[in-house]
């Protein structure tokens, strides 16, 4: 996954196309590679050996594949690990309450320091094909996410729609609450 495209690449602003059903072996392998990158990049020894920046999510468009699939691998604030490959997602509900990451968001496709806050919905509900490793296939599911996992999901979902977080930066968000009062997290 050394081929992550960077800010300024025209495909980062294009809308990704849905995967054909049933999801192909090559699309499944793409999803597994995206997830593997996220897992390895968060291992401090491996990310140094492979010169990787840590990332909690990676979208296919970031590796120059305009398909609606991404992977997330994160540890929530309560210590719960969320690790999944998401294909053809559709957000069906967005809470009115807005939140943001205190230190702002980051992105593997953005190589510069950014200042500002990105508003995100505190809770979302979505439908998607989620990879089930025990069955080795994608299953259609509806899920609800809130707080940090919801922020990460919305960040990756934006990639599928050709949106980078840097286009949604604000100096302040008076109608949104910080995810954490004192700590900071980065995507």
Report the distance separating Cα 58 and Cα 55, nearest Å: 7
Q: What are phi and psi of 132, to 5 degrees?
A: -105, 105
Do 168 and 18 touch, CB atoms closer than 8 A?
no
23 confidence band (pLDDT: 50, 70, 90): very high
185 confidence band (pLDDT: 50, 70, 90): low
If one compares 47 and 156, the residue with the highest pLDDT of the two is 156
Average the pLDDT over 106-129 and give the result. Answer: 96
Tokens of 138: 């994608």
Which CATH fold topology does 10-178 show?
Peptide Deformylase (3.90.45)
pLDDT at residue 180 in the model: 81
pLDDT tens figures, 83-94: 999 999 999 999
Average the pLDDT over 38-61 and give the result. Answer: 86
For all residues of the chain together, what is the average pLDDT? Answer: 93
Name the DSSP class of 122. S
2 confidence band (pLDDT: 50, 70, 90): low
Identify the three-state secondary structure at position 142. Answer: strand
Q: What are phi and psi of 29, to 5 degrees?
A: -65, -40
Report the distance separating Cα 164 and Cα 60, nearest Å: 14
Report the distance separating Cα 150 and Cα 1, nearest Å: 24
Tokens of 184: 């900071």
187 confidence band (pLDDT: 50, 70, 90): low
Average the pLDDT over 116-133 and give the result. Answer: 98
pLDDT tens figures, 57-83: 999 999 999 999 999 999 999 999 999
Tokens of 113: 């320091």
Domain layout of the chain by residue ranges: 10-178
Which residue's entry shows tokens 């008076």? 174
Catalytically active residues are 156
Tokens of 27: 């699309």
Q: Is the dihedral of CA 40, 127, 30, 132 positive or negative?
A: positive
């Amino acid at each position: 996954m050394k081929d992550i495209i960077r800010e300024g690449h025209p495909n980062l602003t294009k809308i990704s196309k849905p995967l054909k059903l049933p999801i192909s072996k090559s699309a499944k392998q793409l999803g597994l590679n995206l997830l593997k990158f996220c897992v390895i990049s968060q291992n401090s020894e491996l990310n140094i050996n492979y010169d990787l920046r840590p990332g909690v999510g990676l979208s296919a468009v970031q590796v120059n594949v305009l398909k609606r699939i991404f992977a997330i691998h994160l540890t929530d604030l309560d210590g719960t690990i969320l690790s999944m490959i998401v294909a053809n997602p559709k957000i069906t509900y967005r809470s009115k309450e807005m939140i943001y990451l205190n230190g702002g968001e980051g992105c593997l496709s953005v190589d510069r320091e950014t200042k500002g806050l990105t508003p995100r919905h505190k809770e979302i509900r979505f439908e998607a094909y989620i990879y089930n490793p025990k069955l080795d296939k994608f299953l259609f599911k509806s899920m609800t996410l809130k707080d940090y996992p919801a922020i990460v999901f919305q960040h990756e979902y934006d990639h599928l729609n050709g949106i980078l977080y840097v286009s949604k930066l604000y100096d302040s968000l008076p109608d949104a609450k910080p995810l954490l009062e004192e700590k900071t997290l980065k995507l």
